[in-house]
A and B are shown apart, each in its own frame.
Chain A
């Protein structure tokens, strides 16, 4: 089933070329709106999220992302992109459509306040990931990951996601989806262009590298 959905979604961008990849634009007004999100109200609203994303925003399941300590702007944008159909997920589209813009900002604010997940270390070799994160790859035109995602994986303005402690399964899926174009809500294909250059092994190592990174 999942494969079929993925396949169907892969065709969608080809059909909808004229559409922007996201309706979210980080104008000063929107930044202020999201910055003023009410974390307390967000906590109430986020109770339904706990099943998949954990009650403290740390996901108990491989395939679902941890949201604790995530940039509010990033979480907000994803919720709106789900609501607008710019990003697709069996459950998230309908959930996000049920949230107002204010709700989305509140939930995003709540998750931003939570301490980020702390992943387990592994003995796997991570040399490739380390090189990609700290130096990038000039031959393939891949900038170092840290220049956007922060030297501790903390994310950066305006909506570059924090990656430290992220669930590796979700991490791998996401990069693969960027690589194939299934996920396409990065404006001007910024992440898709990078993901296309990454090998399976690169992605696997990066997932573990960021999983065990602490900020």
Chain B
């Protein structure tokens, strides 16, 4: 199969994703510099908060959404061995999302949307920002629809057959995103856009925060599922082994989708507008959603162990040394799992209902989510790019050794960046400050950690530049040599002969989600229509 259209779709989407990524990396490094106060002339809250808002939007919305769409189209076409359904529709979605990004970029870069990627009404941004962000999401819904259609078309054509795991995970992510993004879409369409256009005078901050919390947690699983997909469908093969269990992988993905959705209130633990009963309910769900991660870790490590032993590794830990460490996918998964362990530990602290008070909105939190997102997830995006780019562009990877160096430096930089970040949080430093102006003894102890963060950031920035350089050199290589490899999906250790329908379909799970969401969010949202609430007028910042 030649997949010309799919290759073009994947390359276009991923190019947008990684362009956003490299821009955002420069902004990130500027931010650690600015906040440290090392170079006094850099000190400007105006530039800093415009930068933080842009960094957040580029990383959390643009890099992720475009990468996931591009990866999804290619995964669907290759795992189902069928062309993408209605490619012209896919391009429409791409165009809508890209237009949305450009529209939002105008106010972001001119400092007219310094409301962070989490919006924070009643501070009000220029309406282009909200419209742009909404269009980006609407464009991504086109991708979701195409994935779901392809999933069911394949099932219809192949009754009783297990849907290939790669497509199963991708469709799960599309459904997760449809459910997840509904919250922020409701907030944007019914609250923020009419308000920023002056059609309404006020906004209800409590309702806006509740709707955003609907999106805010599962969105991180939307970012994470491609990484898990690579764990399951690429890593075992690249390591020279088999997937330990196909069925349990499906179950893990289903639990991830079902339980990640109704737990957003752990972002509102410290908020006065939701009652403690709802917070506890969401808190319990938050712990249940750690299960699929525990299971994924086991399955991936078990698959790696088989690989190590097949390659002659002996003894309790001997298999680790005999893994193919010079394979980018294998190296990335090891580093990714390490960061997941540390990031997950921090996450359990955040998730722990009352203990959260000690770290809420401190520097601990960005430390945590950088480890999970920029660490665990994005390092797998790198590995996927290194794996797919040569296949997509039909040119060999410019340098495998440099790619390995890039992964190592990303990991090292991330460690140096996030360890002090966590410590700063424990020392009480709030997140989202552009400088330390408090005249207090406590704040003196923050200084050395801020300086360490600059070093971590610099290593990561260099690593990011190297990553983009490698893709660029691969894409624009003059070599005549054509790289002819195809994508290879891992085979399960035990072939899947028959699957219960609930592990091969989402109809049942959509119903479960609908009920669970209604229970978790029904009253907390409806309360704003029964309570005697006082809405806020718009404020600048």
Contacts and interface: CB of A to CB of B under 8 A. Distances in A.
Interface in A86-110: none
Given A28-B535, A31-B537, A138 B201 contact: no
Contact of A158 (B45, B46, B439, B539): B539
Contact of B437 (A26, A136, A158): A136
Interface stretch (A6-14, A44-52, A139-147): A139-147
A141 B537 CA distance: 28
A157 B46 contact: no
B45 A147 contact: yes
B533 to A, nearest CB: 13
Interface residues of B, number: 15
A28 B537 contact: yes
A157 B123 CA distance: 10
Contacts of A156: 540
Contacts of B538: 157
Nearest to B44: A134
B530 to A, nearest CB: 20
Interface in B171-208: 201-202
A140 B537 CA distance: 31
Interface centre among B46, B439, B537, B538 (most CB of A within 10 A): B537
Nearest to B40: A135
Contact of B201 (A32, A141, A158): A32
A138 B537 contact: no
Contacts of B539: 157-158
A26 B537 contact: yes
Interface string A145-168: 001000100001110000000000
B45 A138 contact: no
A31 to B, nearest CB: 6
Contact of A31 (B201, B436, B439, B540): B201
B439 A157 contact: no
Nearest to B111: A151
B462 to A, nearest CB: 31
Contact of A139 (B45, B439, B535): B439
A151 to B, nearest CB: 6
Contacts of B44: 134
A32 B200 CA distance: 11
Interface in B20-57: 43-46
A157 B539 CA distance: 6
Contacts of A151: 46
B438 interface: yes
A157 B201 contact: no
Nearest to A158: B537
Interface in B409-446: 436-439
B439 A144 contact: no
A139 B201 CA distance: 38
A139 B43 CA distance: 16
Interface string B505-541: 0000000000000000000000000000001011110
Nearest to A32: B201
Contact of A135 (B43, B202, B438, B535): B43
Interface in A115-143: 134-136, 138-141
A200 to B, nearest CB: 22
B201 A28 contact: yes
A149 B202 CA distance: 23
B45 A157 contact: no
A139 to B, nearest CB: 5
Contacts of A32: 201
B438 A138 contact: yes
Contact of B439 (A28, A134, A135, A141): A141
A37 to B, nearest CB: 16
Nearest to B440: A138
Interface centre among A28, A134, A136, A156 (most CB of B within 10 A): A28
A26 B202 CA distance: 12
A148 B437 CA distance: 17
A139 B537 CA distance: 33
Interface string B94-126: 000000000000000000000000000000000
Nearest to B46: A151
Contacts of B438: 138
A138 B540 CA distance: 23
B535 A138 contact: no
Interface of B: 43-46, 201-202, 436-439, 535, 537-540
6 contacts: A28-B535, A136-B437, A138-B439, A157-B537, A157-B539, A158-B539
Q: Which 3 A-B pairs have the closest CB atoms?
A: A138-B437, A139-B439, A28-B201
Given A144-B45, A151-B46, A157-B537, 15 more contacts: A28-B201, A28-B202, A28-B537, A31-B537, A32-B201, A134-B44, A135-B43, A136-B437, A138-B439, A139-B439, A156-B540, A157-B539, A157-B540, A158-B537, A158-B539
